[in-house]
Amino acid sequence: MYMLLQEFMTEETMANMLKDKVVLVTGAGGGIGREMALLAAKEGAAVVVNDLGGAVDGEGGGNATPAQKVVDEITAAGGKAVANGDSVADPAGAERMVKAAVENFGKIDGVINNAGILRDRIFHRMSHVDWKMVIDVHLNGAFNVSRATANYFKEQKSGAFVHFTSTSGLVGNFGQANYSAAKMGIIGLSRSIALDMAAFNVRSNCISPFAWTRMIGTIPADTDAQKARLERSKKMTPAKIAPMAVFLLSDAADGVTSQIFGVRMNEIMLFNANRPVRSVHNSEGWTLEAIAEQAVPSMKPYFTDMKRSPEYFTWDPV
């Protein structure tokens, strides 16, 4: 009986981390987004499940089925949720998804900016369309949804943003200039939100996820090393990402803001932000010759290497 009571108390405690909160999860029709929406609902939140219903490359859309399926899962388990099929790349659509939270549940307490697409091309072959579509969804989308929410958070003097970044930006990767730029832009956006809205008790953090999703499944695997990396990725299920994201929306994360976390299987990482690592001074001012002979040799041992994300995270998921 004691063990049953203990299990019940654990379940009861865990199901209340987001009690009475209302959260919006973008790109929540599948993968990581779905897992976060399900966990947020399990933890007591009312959830707006946003998903455009498009393809991985951003084509198509207007398919409400993925979002509605997640809503049906939540309501079948006794939770509260509504579906939204707007595009995060549309400022008016972002306004509508935030209003869906307020009109259905009375307020909004948390936002997870997860929606994304991939249009990978080696840089000299990347089109302006490839660039614009990825920037519009990832970076502009994160801005649109955050901006649509900001005044609600300001008025109620509380709120939490969780934005999704990537090691493709933090470390680097081939064929992803658009995606990498967008994900590094999100780092700057998150920090600016954290600084600008700290006075209103609003938090803003980033997560770099390592997980097997339909987006990761589109990355080519031509070599044995690439195939081995993708096999390792399959072990990292989207469900492993959800707890950190949902935690960052909870009151237990009070004081945690402007940070960059990584989640890889059962590991949680903290990434450092860009800061100076070496400084050189010349009281006479710098000439090109002096830079070549003094400044660069002094700084070269501190240069960032050219490793890509798959080369940097070489250990197996644990």
| 114, 26 contact by CB (below 8 A) | yes
Active site residue 179: yes
**Residue from 67, 80, 75, 69 nearest 28 by CA:** 67
Q: How far apart are the first and last CA of the chain?
A: 34
Q: Sign of dihedral through CA atoms 67, 69, 70, 74? A: positive
Two tokens at 232?
């390792």
Count of alpha carbons within 13 Å of 6, Cβ hemisphere only? 3
Contacts with 270 (C-beta within 8 Å, 6 or more apart), sequence order: 259, 260, 261, 262
Beta strand 80-84 with 46-50 is parallel
CB atoms within 10 A of CB 62: 9
Catalytic residue among 2, 179, 302, 312: 179
Reading the block at residue 279, the tokens are 């400084």
The residue among 272, 264, 258 whose CA lies nearest residue 244 is 264
The letter for the amino acid at 111 is V
Cβ–Cβ < 8 Å for 27, 115: yes
Single-letter code of the amino acid located at 10: T
Catalytic residues: 179
